[in-house]
């Protein structure tokens, strides 16, 4: 098992959340310690992405009950940028294009935001150069506009590049494997593995287990209809692969889980 | 003193500028024509959203040419940014009709109109009213009658100008002053040039309401196979009101790229007309408006395809903050003879405040049948998904919005083929953002 620290990195405690009045998360609980990688797997519509947006503080996603604690601190009420400053990072499933804004300007502004002050240009260039090389991205990439006209693989690489530069304590990776061919998947997985560290926790959200062939999680959680229905070790991902999600559908609706709140 | 809208003012201008008799006659004819014409009717789609009385010098404005700049209490710093080159450009500066940086441009001829016409009588045609609507003539005849700061720039055929040419026109404006700048640019066959045409009005800061009127005209003529990048930079003082008629004529095989940037004035009504008169003439037209305060900006464009195998591509953008208002009407007109023509038009407005407003009206008039024609328009506030993405990277709401706006502007700034000016514009626009 991974080391126990006094304070878990992330505690999600019976979280209920809705989007535009519709409840999507119906009581999710999860604890991640520093150094751990957790995977959340589930079929489409099970609430995986909602969980990631809730963690990042998307204004459309409303936490209706429960708590989320990052390093023991309540996250509710924090804006997305305040969460980023506290070390939370979300790699988007569908990163947004910002036409006219170069990656270079964007990354500098992000680093300035996260650190709360200017970053010496020399240090910035050096950090970028190292990471670009590691991710197999040409330097000309920095002059392109953020996600504008990018292929799926380019978008995901840019997400990992940002994660590497911003150096978060908790990284949530939302379907980072989707839309990638096998070579791109390997590069991205290597990028993620390189960022494994005893100080960092990761929550990998995925539909398929193939990313987990490359990134070995400490724990796997199966999500179904807004709840975690089973948790276990890495072997759970393989079980999912053979049985499919149907095998994890609760036979009967858990008592009291229907709309009683 | 009356309002100065009479022949005696014209006599004073012609005397002062020592103009030949024909020019005085032409001025008087223009004024007579102005008095005959009706003001635009509110039923006219292109005019109904702007109160034209605000642009009428008869509403208490003086048409007497302003005195020389030395009599204005201007700060050195006010002038400095316009009298120093941004980079390696050929800089020509004119203040209140007098040269500050004399034009010394190899291969180019810059003169005052009277002088230029004497050598090239054809230039007179630049003042012709053919193809203008009555409403446009009503306003532009005022310029023809009272223009007092004329520049005629000619680039001879077969000239390739090595560095950008930046022509800065500084005008001091007393309260209730009306100004009438006129610019005529002719680029000879096969010539290539980057031209930056910058207009500034400066007021006495001790005046509380230095409202002034600017009725400008710009004529751009591209002879066959000329290749021109033209940037117009409007930096009128916030107390200025503008009417502009900008007309470009693009001959066979010539190529014109225009960037019109409007940063100043309280009211601006501007007509940008581009005529493609010869086969294979092409143009790319970009526009950017930065609306702030209570600004009212009304722009009309005409992509006028008169010949076959011509193409035009237009993209006008506006970023509007505070309670500014933008009106865009864009007409694509394709004559029967203009087969195999491509014409595109896009207008995008970004609303940065709940009180900002934008209207966009595309218009098509297509008489040929084998053409490609498209238009697109959008008006929207800051995209929340873009804002969330940036905020998730640690940018405050304000920093995220700024970055999105600057990205929006960039697609026009990128079209200006002169990096030092690009940088200055980015700084000017970012500096003007109130958020």
Which range scores top for mean pLDDT: A245-254, B105-114, B228-237? B228-237
A10-248 architecture in CATH? Answer: 3-Layer(aba) Sandwich (3.40)
Q: Examine the pLDDT at B79 and tell me if it is beyond 60.
A: yes
Which of A75, A94, A101 is the mutation pick for testing B, counting most B CBs within 10 A? Answer: A101
Average the pLDDT over each of A38-47, A102-111, A155-164, A204-213 and give the range with the smallest value: A204-213
CB-CB neighbors (< 8 A) of B390 in chain A:
98, 106, 109-110
A162-177 tens-digit pLDDT: 999 999 999 999 999 8
- The percentage of chain B sitting over the pLDDT mark of 90, rounded to a whole number, equals 74
d(Cα A199, Cα B106) in Å, to the nearest integer?
66
pLDDT score at B82: 87
Point out the residue among A101, A110, A166 whose CB comes nearest to the CB of B407: A101
CB-CB neighbors (< 8 A) of A59 in chain B:
384, 388
CB-CB neighbors (< 8 A) of A106 in chain B:
390, 393, 403
- Asked if A101 and B406 come within 8 Å (Cβ–Cβ), the reply is yes
B27-60 tens-digit pLDDT: 999 999 999 999 998 889 999 999 999 999 999 8
The token duo for A21 is 């009045």
Closest to B129 (Cα-Cα) out of B266, B282, B265, B245: B245
Could you tell me whether strands B357-366 and B325-334 are parallel, antiparallel, or unpaired per DSSP bridges? Answer: parallel
Report the alpha-carbon angle A68-A70-A74, nearest 5.
55
pLDDT score at B328: 98
d(Cα B299, Cα B317) in Å, to the nearest integer?
11
Phi (first) and psi of residue B266, to 5 degrees: -90, -35
- The average confidence (pLDDT) of chain B is 91
Secondary structure letter of residue A141 according to DSSP = G
d(Cα B56, Cα A109) in Å, to the nearest integer?
47
Q: How far is A38 from chain B (nearest CA, A)?
A: 21
Closest to A202 (Cα-Cα) out of A10, A68, A4: A10
Size of interface A-B (CB pairs under 8 A): 86
B157-196 tens-digit pLDDT: 999 998 999 999 999 888 899 999 999 999 999 999 999 9
Q: For residue A257, what pLDDT band results from cuts at 50, 70 and 90? A: very low
The token duo for B129 is 């009213």
Cβ–Cβ contact A103 with B under 8 A: no
Cβ–Cβ contact A149 with B under 8 A: no
Closest to B278 (Cα-Cα) out of B341, B325, B351, B347: B341
Q: What is the mean pLDDT of residues A34-38?
A: 96
pLDDT score at B111: 79
Domain boundaries, given as residue ranges, for chain A? 10-248
Q: Examine the pLDDT at B122 and tell me if it is beyond 70.
A: yes
Domain boundaries, given as residue ranges, for chain B? 7-385, 386-435
Cβ–Cβ contact B313 with A under 8 A: no
Q: For residue A253, what pLDDT band results from cuts at 50, 70 and 90? A: low
Helix (H, G, I), strand (E, B) or coil at A226: coil
Average the pLDDT over each of A37-51, A134-148, A245-259, B140-154 and give the range with the smallest value: A245-259
CB-CB neighbors (< 8 A) of A57 in chain B:
392
Could you tell me how far CA B83 lies from the centroid of its own chain? 20
Q: Where are the alpha helices (DSSP H) in A136-234?
A: 152-166, 182-194
Q: For residue B299, what pLDDT band results from cuts at 50, 70 and 90? A: very high
Point out the residue among A79, A95, A99 whose CB comes nearest to the CB of B411: A99
B339-383 tens-digit pLDDT: 999 999 999 999 999 999 999 999 999 999 999 999 999 999 999
Q: Which residues of A215-250 are buried (b: 16+ CB within 10 A; e: fewer)?
A: bebbbbbbbbbbbbbbeeeeebbebbeeeebeebee
pLDDT score at B75: 65
Residues 402-431 of B with CB under 8 A from A: 403-404, 406-411, 414
Q: Examine the pLDDT at B149 and tell me if it is beyond 90.
A: no
Closest chain A residue to B388, measured at CA: A58
- Asked if B393 and A99 come within 8 Å (Cβ–Cβ), the reply is no
pLDDT score at B57: 93
- Asked if B403 and A109 come within 8 Å (Cβ–Cβ), the reply is yes
Point out the residue among A84, A90, A100 whose CB comes nearest to the CB of B406: A100
Cβ–Cβ contact A185 with B under 8 A: no
Run of H or E including B391: helix B384-391
For residue B37, give Cα distances in angstroms to B32, B60, B222: 9, 20, 30
Q: Examine the pLDDT at A1 and tell me if it is beyond 50.
A: no
The token duo for A78 is 């924090």
pLDDT score at B105: 74
Q: Where are the alpha helices (DSSP H) in B113-188?
A: 113-119, 134-146
Cβ–Cβ contact A81 with B under 8 A: yes
Q: For residue A94, what pLDDT band results from cuts at 50, 70 and 90? A: very high
- Which residues 6+ apart lie within 8 Å of A66 measured at CB? A12, A13, A14, A15, A16, A27, A28
Cβ–Cβ contact B396 with A under 8 A: yes
For residue B412, give Cα distances in angstroms to A116, B247, B285, B317: 31, 20, 10, 8
- Asked if B394 and A114 come within 8 Å (Cβ–Cβ), the reply is yes
How much is the pTM?
A: 0.90
Q: For residue B116, what pLDDT band results from cuts at 50, 70 and 90? A: confident
Which of A58, A98, A147 is the mutation pick for testing B, counting most B CBs within 10 A? Answer: A98
Point out the residue among B385, B397, B411 whose CB comes nearest to the CB of A100: B411
DSSP states of B273-297:
EEEE-STT-EEEEEEEEEE-TT-EE
- Asked if A113 and B395 come within 8 Å (Cβ–Cβ), the reply is yes
pLDDT score at B207: 79
Which of B394, B397, B415, B427 is the mutation pick for testing A, counting most A CBs within 10 A? Answer: B394
Q: For residue A258, what pLDDT band results from cuts at 50, 70 and 90? A: very low
């Amino acid at each position: 098992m991974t080391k126990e620290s006094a304070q878990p990195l992330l505690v999600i405690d019976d979280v209920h959340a809705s989007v535009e009045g519709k409840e999507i998360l119906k009581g999710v609980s999860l604890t991640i310690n520093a150094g751990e990688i957790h995977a959340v797997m589930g079929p489409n519509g099970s609430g995986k992405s909602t969980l990631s947006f809730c963690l990042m503080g998307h204004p459309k996603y409303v936490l209706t009950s429960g708590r989320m604690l990052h390093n023991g601190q309540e996250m509710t009420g924090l804006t997305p940028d305040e969460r980023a400053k506290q070390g939370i990072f979300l790699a988007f499933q569908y990163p947004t294009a910002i036409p006219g804004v170069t990656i270079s300007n964007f990354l500098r502004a992000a680093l300035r935001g996260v650190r709360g002050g200017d970053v010496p240009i020399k240090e910035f260039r050096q950090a970028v150069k190292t990471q670009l090389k590691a991710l197999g991205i040409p330097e000309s990439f920095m002059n392109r506009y953020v996600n504008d006209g990018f292929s799926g693989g380019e978008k995901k690489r840019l997400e990992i590049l940002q994660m590497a530069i911003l150096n978060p304590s908790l990284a949530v990776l939302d379907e980072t494997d989707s839309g990638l061919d096998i070579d791109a998947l390997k590069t991205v997985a290597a990028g993620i593995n390189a960022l494994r560290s005893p100080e960092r926790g990761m929550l990998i959200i995925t539909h398929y287990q193939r990313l987990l062939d490359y990134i070995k999680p400490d724990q796997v959680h199966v999500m179904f209809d807004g709840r975690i229905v089973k948790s276990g070790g890495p072997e759970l991902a393989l079980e999912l692969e053979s049985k499919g999600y149907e095998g994890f559908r609760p036979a009967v609706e858990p008592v009291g889980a229907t709309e009683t709140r | 003193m009356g309002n100065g809208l009479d022949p005696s003012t014209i006599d004073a201008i012609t005397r002062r500028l020592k103009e030949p008799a024909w020019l005085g006659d032409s001025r008087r004819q223009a004024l007579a024509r102005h008095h005959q014409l009706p003001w635009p009717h509110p039923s006219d789609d292109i005019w109904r959203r702007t109160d034209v009385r605000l642009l009428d010098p008869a509403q208490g404005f003086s048409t007497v040419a302003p005195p020389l700049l030395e009599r204005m209490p201007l700060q050195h710093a006010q002038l400095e940014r316009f009298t120093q080159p941004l980079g390696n450009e050929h800089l020509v500066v004119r203040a209140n009709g007098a040269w500050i940086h004399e034009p010394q441009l190899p291969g180019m001829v810059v003169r005052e109109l009277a002088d230029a016409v004497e050598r090239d009588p054809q230039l007179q045609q630049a003042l012709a009213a053919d193809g203008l609507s009555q409403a446009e003539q009503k306003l532009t005849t005022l310029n023809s009658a009272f223009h007092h700061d004329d520049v005629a720039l000619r680039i001879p055929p077969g000239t390739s100008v090595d560095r950008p040419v930046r022509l800065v026109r500084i005008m001091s404006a007393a309260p209730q002053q009306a100004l009438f700048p006129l610019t005529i640019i002719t680029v000879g066959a096969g010539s290539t040039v980057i031209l930056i045409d910058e207009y500034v009005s400066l007021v006495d800061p001790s005046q509380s309401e230095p409202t002034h009127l600017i009725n400008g005209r710009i004529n751009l003529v591209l002879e066959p196979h000329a290749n021109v990048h033209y940037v117009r930079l409007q930096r009128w003082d916030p107390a200025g009101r503008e009417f502009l008629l900008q007309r470009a004529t693009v001959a066979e095989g010539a190529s014109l790229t225009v960037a019109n940037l409007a940063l100043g004035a309280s009211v601006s009504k501007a007509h940008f007309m581009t005529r493609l008169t010869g086969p294979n003439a092409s143009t790319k037209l970009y526009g950017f408006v930065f609306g702030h305060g209570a600004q009212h900006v009304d722009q009309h464009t005409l992509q006028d395809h008169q010949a076959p195998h011509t193409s035009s591509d237009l993209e006008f953008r506006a970023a509007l903050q505070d309670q500014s208002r933008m009106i865009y009407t864009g007409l694509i007109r394709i004559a029967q003879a203009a087969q195999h023509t491509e014409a595109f038009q896009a207008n995008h407005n970004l609303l940065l405040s709940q009180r900002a407003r934008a209207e966009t009206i595309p218009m098509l008039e297509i008489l040929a049948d084998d053409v490609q024609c498209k238009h697109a328009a959008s008006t929207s506030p800051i995209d929340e998904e873009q804002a969330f993405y940036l905020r998730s990277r640690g940018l405050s709401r304000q920093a995220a919005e700024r970055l999105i706006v600057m990205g929006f502007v960039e697609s026009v700034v990128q079209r200006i083929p002169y990096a030092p000016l690009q940088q200055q514009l980015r700084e000017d626009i970012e500096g003007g953002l109130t958020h």
